[in-house]
Amino acid sequence: MRNALRTTLFALALLAVGGAALGADKLDVVYHVSEEGKVGFALNNIQNHINGIGGPENINVVLVLHGPAVKRFSDIEAVDKVRTTVAKLQEQGVTFEACANTLDALGLEPDELLDGFVIAERGGVTRIAELQTDGYAYIRP
């Protein structure tokens, strides 16, 4: 009886560990950028993170932008390197979100941003806090 109980407990422990591993197969990360000068650095960090974790199938990345950094993603202001890198990251599943308050302050419309941007309607910092509450790790390069 004792051996059967031990075997059952051991099997349950293995299932719990295996189930946890299956449920946690993707890392959730939010990157936070507000400074124009950090945009290229942050985009490179995201690609390095994807590569380091073994590919986009192993990570969910959201880049939340607010403040002056948003200007680097406007369709008119974005340089080719930013355009190319954003497109490549989007192909790998990275989500780009821009702060609605910043857009208002800069006089930008959502359609003036590069394609595929989501607007954080309640603000960039609010969105970051929501993602952290959902278990996303926070990185600010």
Using one digit for the tens of pLDDT, what is the confidence trace for 61-111?
Answer: 999 999 999 999 998 778 999 999 999 999 999 999 999 999 999 999 999
pLDDT per position as a tens digit, 104-141: 999 999 999 999 999 999 999 999 999 999 999 999 99
Distance CA 25, CA 77 (A): 37
Q: What is the biggest distance separating any 2 CA atoms in the chain, rounded to whole angstroms?
A: 74
Q: Which of 3.10.129.10, 3.40.1260.10, 3.90.950.10, 3.30.70.1140 is the CATH number of 25-139?
A: 3.40.1260.10
- The DSSP call for residue 74 is B
Beta carbons of 125 and 140 less than 8 angstroms apart: no
Task: List the domain boundaries for the chain.
Answer: 25-139
